[in-house]
Structure 1
């Protein structure tokens, strides 16, 4: 997603604060998606961040290749994972995995062409019949979000300071507060309802998604000849 951080501390290439990422707790994503992962599966984790999911995937015995385009971020990822610094759309590892994870609502980026390229890379790196596990913003939430207190993640309070919608795009400024520390993050996302998600996945070579909950879904890679 297009984004910009107002923090002066180190940030990722898309403007997210590394210091903020390090403060946010793990939220149980691996337990949520693990029914879709075979035992000892090879997992390609795209946009791994500081490795909160990576650590828990490794702890469950999965073999993880963790990808992010920020070297500052990758420095915090466990050395037990294979780490790759690259943009998703440029990735070419020359191998197929048992599963691909596309978290952090990256599917909601507003650039349709870039989304298509990234989903194509997901398909390229998946064995036929294997799952893409993806996270998206709840479309109902994006359609109704207003300025104000949003909630807590661990010890970090979250506030929406600005929210503007134009057609299917939403521009947000989200502030994260922990004691005297504050980070503001501006970003733009595209609302994707179930039908829109199915359409973009189908174009990339995936079957219709099965929803795990309102944010997480799984889509099986179709045969390349299909």
Structure 2
């Protein structure tokens, strides 16, 4: 299944609607980054998008480099260095206190793509630094169903379709809306996701010279890995 998106405004190669993501607010991510990054430390944000998390991190005093493959996304990022590149191919020749890989990118269906993402993390993290990964734990995948979602003010996110097309491989479509009272805008984003167990994630990290250190959140969606 090819990642696709629909709706007003530009759509990135992975199906992300830029206008919708510009309307989202940061959640707990800045505080999560602060748990593993020294004050004023350096953060490499892989897949930064429009800067939803970048800007709060800058407000907290971190030195952030924002990386995304979409120029339309990066055009919304302000106040810091941006790099237009595919994460898998990134080679900055620099190392950071924290490398952040969010948005469940590690759950990509292809093993080769997963290893390329983690290899990019490994070659940019300092010795003694942290790789912060947002993933979809196996038990969370098992709870996916049509209609699940959340609302945050005028923003609504709903799972419009989901199917396990082969063991551990899910195809899903999210429906995003912004606004109300007949003036709402609507987008969709379709994608594939691989169910990973803790052991499979640990092995993928190990293959790239990283070690699963600990889970940072009660729901286990944020993982800290360190250079082995």
Superposed pair shares fold, TM > 0.5: yes
Root-mean-square deviation (CA, aligned residues, Å) is 1.5
* 1:201 corresponds to: 205
* 2:26 corresponds to: 26
Q: Supply the distance in 2 between the matched residues of 1:122 and 1:149 (Cα, whole angstroms).
A: 31
Q: How much has 1:33 moved relative to structure 2?
A: 2.8
Structure 2: runs of 5 or more not aligned? none
1:88-127 equivalences in 2 (<5 Å)? 88-127=87-126
* 2:188 corresponds to: 184
Gap change, CA 1:122 and 1:82, over 3 Å in 2: same
Q: Supply the distance in 2 between the matched residues of 1:108 and 1:149 (Cα, whole angstroms).
A: 19
- Conserved in 2, the CA contact under 8 Å of 1:89 and 1:121? yes
Q: How much has 1:101 moved relative to structure 2?
A: 0.4
- Conserved in 2, the CA contact under 8 Å of 1:25 and 1:154? no
* 1:217 corresponds to: 223
- Conserved in 2, the CA contact under 8 Å of 1:51 and 1:77? yes
- SS where residue 58 of structure 2 aligns? helix
CA deviation vs aligned residue, 1:15-44 (integer Å, no higher than 9, x gap) = 110011011111121112312101211111
Gap change, CA 1:217 and 1:2, over 3 Å in 2: farther
Q: Indicate whether 1:150 and 2:154 are aligned.
A: no
Q: How much has 1:61 moved relative to structure 2?
A: 1.2
Deviates more, 1:63-72 or 1:120-129: 120-129
The structure with more strand, counted as a fraction of residues: 2
Q: How much has 1:2 moved relative to structure 2?
A: 5.4
Gap change, CA 1:96 and 1:2, over 3 Å in 2: farther
- SS where residue 31 of structure 1 aligns? helix
Q: Supply the distance in 2 between the matched residues of 1:168 and 1:143 (Cα, whole angstroms).
A: 9
Q: Indicate whether 1:48 and 2:54 are aligned.
A: no
- SS where residue 22 of structure 2 aligns? helix
* 2:58 corresponds to: 58
- Conserved in 1, the CA contact under 8 Å of 2:9 and 2:17? yes
- SS where residue 115 of structure 2 aligns? helix
CA deviation vs aligned residue, 1:148-184 (integer Å, no higher than 9, x gap) = 1422134212222211012111100111122321111
* 1:72 corresponds to: 72
- Conserved in 1, the CA contact under 8 Å of 2:18 and 2:72? yes
Q: TM-score, normalised by structure 1?
A: 0.93
Q: TM-score, normalised by structure 2?
A: 0.92
- Conserved in 1, the CA contact under 8 Å of 2:8 and 2:187? no
Structure 1: runs of 5 or more not aligned? none
Aligned positions, number: 221
